[in-house]
């Protein structure tokens, strides 16, 4: 991204920010543009706005070095590291595992950093899910995200293996919860209430892409790359920054209305509408994640629906066991 574009976007949008906002850097791999990140943070802080900004960055961790660690620590960044644990060697080269593992350990030595990981599992790596998650938790990571690859096609055997691995994960989480009172893996965290999931892109988050186009979330920029002539692109793109600044009063509510329909009760699987499902208020699916498997926005592949059922069942079983033992 051109730094002039970033400054212009910040200057325009900053009056609309909440008093406590997140500014996140995504890629591709954002550390390839570390100099721009540094200039961006300096520029934002030089404005001395009466708002609190929390900076965040998602990275695969392979490029982290001492200068970066010290910069992110000084500015109290939240770092989300893409790290698949022992499954890393299946999905990536062995050298990547060793480099990222070293850097994951280093992040934990910087007190200013808030560190979490995201692990992606495919049908080829799912047999290492439990072992990988336990490995990451034992490193000292307090927040571990689990992502199931939606691009891959999951057959029945792969889903059964996922169910088996989640059962193993549940077993090692029970003593951790008894000792710490916390669950470090997001998929197993207790849901205190049922609610209807709706994508908040465009409403409480906004993205300026490197080409200057505006989206409700960075995932939309990725999904619609190369689809500039499609109806979907026109539905979800807020246009370029200059045009938006000139016509925000007309453009924003018109495009936002399309994002507001990205709710579970508008979605469907190949078999039925999601609003007909008994689990409607306990299910949430990122519409773009689902669409990356080849579907259109709002259509949930059958295998993803089954995976979500398996995840919900594992979480429910964990908390039933914990509450019965209290």
Tens-place pLDDT, residues 268-324: 999 999 999 999 999 989 999 888 876 788 999 999 999 999 999 999 999 999 988
pLDDT < 70 stretches in the chain: 89-95, 294, 325-326
Q: What is the pLDDT of residue 326?
A: 61
Measured in Å, how far apart are the chain's first and last C-alpha atoms?
A: 53
The answer to whether 256 and 202 are in contact (CB under 8 A) is: yes
**Cα 320 to Cα 180, 202, 315, 325, distances in angstroms:** 18, 37, 9, 9
**Which DSSP string corresponds to 216-246?**
SSHHHHHHTTT-TTSHHHHHH---BHHHHHH
Q: What is the pLDDT of residue 98?
A: 85
Q: What is the pLDDT of residue 253?
A: 97
Q: Please state whether beta strands 52-59 and 20-25 pair in parallel, antiparallel, or not at all (unpaired).
A: parallel
Q: Where are the domains of the chain?
A: 3-188, 207-306
* pLDDT tens digits, 36-47: 999 999 999 998
Q: What is the pLDDT of residue 50?
A: 81
Tokens coding 170 = 């549940």
Q: What is the pLDDT of residue 56?
A: 97
User: How many whole angstroms separate alpha carbon 101 and alpha carbon 94?
Assistant: 11
Taking only Cα atoms into account, the Rg of the chain, rounded to an integer number of angstroms, comes to 21
Q: What is the pLDDT of residue 296?
A: 83
Q: What is the CATH number of domain 3-188?
A: 3.20.20.70
């Amino acid at each position: 991204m051109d730094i002039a574009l970033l400054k212009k976007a910040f200057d325009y949008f900053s009056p609309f920010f909440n008093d406590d906002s997140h500014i996140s850097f995504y890629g591709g791999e954002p550390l390839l543009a570390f100099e721009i990140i540094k200039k961006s943070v300096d520029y934002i802080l030089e404005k001395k706005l009466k708002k609190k900004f929390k900076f965040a960055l998602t990275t695969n961790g392979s490029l982290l070095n001492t200068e970066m660690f010290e910069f992110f620590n000084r500015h109290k960044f939240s770092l989300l590291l893409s790290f698949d644990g022992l499954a890393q060697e299946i999905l990536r080269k062995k050298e990547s595992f060793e480099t990222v593992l070293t850097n994951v350990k280093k992040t934990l030595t910087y007190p200013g950093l808030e560190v979490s990981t995201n692990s992606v599992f495919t049908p080829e790596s799912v047999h290492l899910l439990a072992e990988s998650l336990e490995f990451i938790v034992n490193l000292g990571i307090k927040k571990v995200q689990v992502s199931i690859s939606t691009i891959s096609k999951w057959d029945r055997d792969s889903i059964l293996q996922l169910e088996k691995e989640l059962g193993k994960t549940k077993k090692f989480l029970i003593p951790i919860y008894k000792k710490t009172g916390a669950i470090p893996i997001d998929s197993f965290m207790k849901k205190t209430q049922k609610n209807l999931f709706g994508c908040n892109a465009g409403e409480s988050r906004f993205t300026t892409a490197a080409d200057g186009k505006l989206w409700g979330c960075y995932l939309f920029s990725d999904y619609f790359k190369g689809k500039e002539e499609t109806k979907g692109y026109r539905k979800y793109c807020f246009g370029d920054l200059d045009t938006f600044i000139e016509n925000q009063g007309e453009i924003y509510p018109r495009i936002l209305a399309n994002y507001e329909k990205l709710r579970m009760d508008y979605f469907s699987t190949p078999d039925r509408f999601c609003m007909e499902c008994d689990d409607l208020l306990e299910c949430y699916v990122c519409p773009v994640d689902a669409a990356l498997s080849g579907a259109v926005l709002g259509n949930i592949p059958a295998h993803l629906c089954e995976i979500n059922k398996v995840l919900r069942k594992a979480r429910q079983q964990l908390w039933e066991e914990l509450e019965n033992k209290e």
